[in-house]
Amino acid sequence: MTRLGIGLVSAGWMGKLHTRAYQAVPVLYPELGLRTQLVHAADSAPDRATYARDVLGYQKTGLDYQDVLADPDVDVVSICAPNHLHAEMGVAAARAGKPFWIEKPVGRNAGETADIATAVRTAGLETSIGYNYRGAPPVERMRDLVSSGELGRVTNVRSVFFNSYASEPNGALSWRFKRAYAGAGALGDLLSHVVDLVQYVVGPVGEVLSQLATFYPERPVLPMGSGTHFAVIEGGEMAPVENEDYAAALVRFAPGAHTEGTVGTLEASRIIVGPQCGLALEVYGTEGSATWNFEQMNELRLCLGRGGPNTGYTTVLANVAMGEYGRFQPGPGNAMGYDDLKVIEAKKFLVALGGGKRRNSTIYEALADAEVLAAAAASAEDGQWHKVTRVPDATFGRAAGGGGARD
Ligand SMILES: NC(=O)c1ccc[n+]([C@@H]2O[C@H](COP(=O)([O-])OP(=O)(O)OC[C@H]3O[C@@H](n4cnc5c(N)ncnc54)[C@H](O)[C@@H]3O)[C@@H](O)[C@H]2O)c1
């Protein structure tokens, strides 16, 4: 039995979910022989640090994340702070020799993601990134359908993240709306998930043409470490929104085994009225197509071939043949949820850390996603197509040569 001491930096929404995920791994994957122990947590908000001790159950808690990194009983660290702290904390964790699981988008821009990647490379550490939607069983099945060639040559891809968290005009001005804290708006917060998903399922994005838009110029202020970005504040002090509510990109994928000439459209909005957490992926190929939306996380809509008595889409429920479903539920119709995706992420991280198969998202893949977002931001400025800087170590779990097989 291997004991792993867990360190946590920031006990907000993601900090809570990472903690639950570490606790669930030994239960759902007993063959790994792991015992996770909640050792040390830090949050600069005193009530969150207290919560980490009294409710989450960390043995030691405090306000300074450096104490977590310096703790010899901590074997792995989760970094769940707002984006402006990712670079400082990621580099510090690497220098402290602590493998870490860090939330997306990993810094405010590609330069910050690159700084973390350099520190990780120097330290030779394992990493994991909060791109949880990869683990949804239908998404894993879509990836298999693409890499096996069952969909044929992929002609076009549509993916959106339509999230309603800021759809109220008096929705709180949390750190997500400030450039100094978040960097980009919908581009970094939401389109990052879209970009990661299409690069994971289909292949590398090669070029982008983008546009951004902001619809609500001011919002009521929410202090750091209080409430959530879903909060609505009536009559509060107003301050400017500094980043975009909406981001869109036309993309051309790099040529690969099944992606010759593949094009796509990617969109994200944080102010949409209607969809709530509508992360959708549609992959169209010459031999079939597959579509999925997180709001129906356990359902894949699939059409293979043309004609016949069952022409059109069939809904396939998540089942034990899809991804990690069988670890969570015994049979179809029993739904998995958002938090389960974090457990899958934790499991992939800890397996890679223990020398097993590398199915985790890595800092190099986070950098490849950040490079697509950087090209999109530049394109939104000048209205031109921009090529995406390739990151050679970003394999997205594919064997060298781009054939799509897993290593
Ligand atoms: N993977 C996903 O689907 C997903 C979803 C939500 C958020 N995120 C990402 O997770 C990160 C955190 O988001 P959240 O929603 O949990 O935010 P949150 O606002 O709920 O929590 C952030 C926490 O960080 C703490 N903090 C601020 N400064 C700190 C410091 N100097 N040291 C230690 N703690 C500090 C705050 O007090 C707060 O408790 C962001 O990067 C965000 O983009 C990812």
**How does pLDDT run across 310-336, given as a tens digit for each residue?**
899 999 999 999 999 999 999 999 999
User: What is the pLDDT averaged over residues 346-374?
Assistant: 97
Whole-angstrom Cα distance, residue 381 to residue 48? 39
What residue owns the CA closest to ligand 1's atom 39?
12
Percent of the chain with pLDDT over 90: 93
Tell me what pLDDT residue 249 has: 98
Backbone angles phi, psi at 168, to 5 degrees: -80, 130
Ligand 1 mean position, distance from CA 131 (Å): 14
CA-132 nearest atom, ligand 1: 1
The band of 406, judged by pLDDT with boundaries at 50, 70 and 90, is very low
Whole-angstrom Cα distance, residue 353 to residue 148? 28
Tell me what pLDDT residue 325 has: 98
What residue owns the CA closest to ligand 1's atom 2?
130
CB of 63 closer than 6 A to ligand 1? no
Ligand 1 mean position, distance from CA 212 (Å): 24
The tokens of 144 are what?
A: 């298999």
Tell me what pLDDT residue 248 has: 98
User: Ligand 1 test: best mutation among 13, 64, 373, most atoms within 8 Å of CB?
Assistant: 13
CB of 19 closer than 6 A to ligand 1? no
Ligand 1 mean position, distance from CA 181 (Å): 11
Tell me what pLDDT residue 226 has: 75
Percent of the chain with pLDDT over 70: 98
User: What is the pLDDT averaged over residues 17-29?
Assistant: 98
Tell me what pLDDT residue 404 has: 32
CB of 224 closer than 6 A to ligand 1? yes
CB of 65 closer than 6 A to ligand 1? yes
**How does pLDDT run across 155-202, given as a tens digit for each residue?**
999 999 999 999 999 999 999 999 999 999 999 999 999 999 999 999
Average pLDDT, the chain: 95
User: What is the pLDDT averaged over residues 262-282?
Assistant: 98
Whole-angstrom Cα distance, residue 208 to residue 47? 43
Place of tokens 């090209």: 375
Whole-angstrom Cα distance, residue 256 to residue 240? 43
Ligand 1 mean position, distance from CA 10 (Å): 6
Tell me what pLDDT residue 193 has: 98
The band of 224, judged by pLDDT with boundaries at 50, 70 and 90, is confident
The band of 22, judged by pLDDT with boundaries at 50, 70 and 90, is very high
Tell me what pLDDT residue 372 has: 98
**How does pLDDT run across 90-131, given as a tens digit for each residue?**
999 999 999 999 999 999 999 999 999 999 999 999 999 999
What are the strands of the beta sheet with 205-213, ordered from one edge? 314-317, 299-304, 288-293, 277-285, 154-163, 263-269, 246-253, 205-213, 386-387
Tell me what pLDDT residue 403 has: 32
Indicate whether 228 pLDDT > 90: no
CA-13 nearest atom, ligand 1: 16
pTM: 0.96
Whole-angstrom Cα distance, residue 218 to residue 220? 7
User: What is the pLDDT averaged over residues 388-407?
Assistant: 70
Ligand 1 mean position, distance from CA 329 (Å): 29
Place of tokens 């893949």: 365
The band of 225, judged by pLDDT with boundaries at 50, 70 and 90, is confident
Ligand 1 mean position, distance from CA 402 (Å): 34
User: Ligand 1 test: best mutation among 20, 80, 348, most atoms within 8 Å of CB?
Assistant: 80
CB of 42 closer than 6 A to ligand 1? yes
CA-188 nearest atom, ligand 1: 43
The tokens of 6 are what?
A: 């867990």
Indicate whether 402 pLDDT > 60: no
Give the pairing of strands 314-317 and 299-304: antiparallel
The band of 20, judged by pLDDT with boundaries at 50, 70 and 90, is very high
Whole-angstrom Cα distance, residue 165 to residue 171? 8
Range of weakest confidence among 80-84, 227-231, 270-274, 325-329: 227-231
Q: How far apart are the first and last CA of the chain?
A: 26
Tell me what pLDDT residue 222 has: 86
CB of 83 closer than 6 A to ligand 1? yes
What residue owns the CA closest to ligand 1's atom 37?
225
CA angle 335, 337, 342 (to 5 degrees): 140
What residue owns the CA closest to ligand 1's atom 7?
14
Ligand 1 mean position, distance from CA 12 (Å): 5
Tell me what pLDDT residue 187 has: 98
Query: DSSP letters along 346-381, please?
Result: HHHHHHHHTTS---S--HHHHHHHHHHHHHHHHHHH
Tell me what pLDDT residue 282 has: 98
What residue owns the CA closest to ligand 1's atom 30?
44
CB of 132 closer than 6 A to ligand 1? yes
Tell me what pLDDT residue 407 has: 33
User: Ligand 1 test: best mutation among 16, 43, 228, 373, most atoms within 8 Å of CB?
Assistant: 43
Tell me what pLDDT residue 105 has: 97
